[in-house]
Amino acid sequence: MTNVRLCGWIAAFITGVSVSLAAPAVAASGNDAEELEALLQDFLAHADERETHDRFWADDLVYTSSNGTRFGKPEIMAGFSEPAADEDGPAIEYTGEDVKVQVFGTAAVVTFKLVGTPGDGSPALYYYNTGTFLKRDGEWRAVAWQATVIPAS
């Protein structure tokens, strides 16, 4: 075992990454990586649909939003049950850029830049996103999510 590999394993353990350490990371290659990127792109294209969120998020999700609040799938799904409030501002289309998928057996980490483009031409919004996925019963679902606002330059 090389020192680099050993150091990588120790770093993963220390930071609390609970993945299969015996499986090498695969950056954006293989069926699982392709499946995860397609899942992400479909999620972003249909982010306004309840069914999309139900499929994407695991029941035991922990989501840390860009404003520092933490919640789970029940709170996300409850947002679809609430009466529609008058929305402030334009509709926003979300896309993902610089997507990187790392697969570790039945766990994966997906990182990307989320771009929110308002329909009225106002400046785009940018966020770094990191999602941790587990493959359970043959399906990938996000179990942890972190969103961070990228400050305007």
The CATH number given to whatever domain includes residue 114 is 3.10.450.50
Indicate whether 1 belongs to any domain: no
**Which residue range(s) make up the domain with 64?**
20-149
Task: Work out how many domains the chain is built from and give that number.
Answer: 1
- Mean pLDDT for the stretch of residues 112-119: 94
- pTM tops 0.85: no
Q: E strands along 7-106, which residues?
A: 26-27, 57-64, 70-71, 92-104
Identify the three-state secondary structure at position 85.
coil
pLDDT tens profile 3-42: 433 333 333 322 333 333 334 444 444 699 999 999 999 9
pLDDT number for residue 91: 86
Q: What is the pLDDT of residues 117-135, one digit of tens each?
A: 999 999 999 999 999 999 9
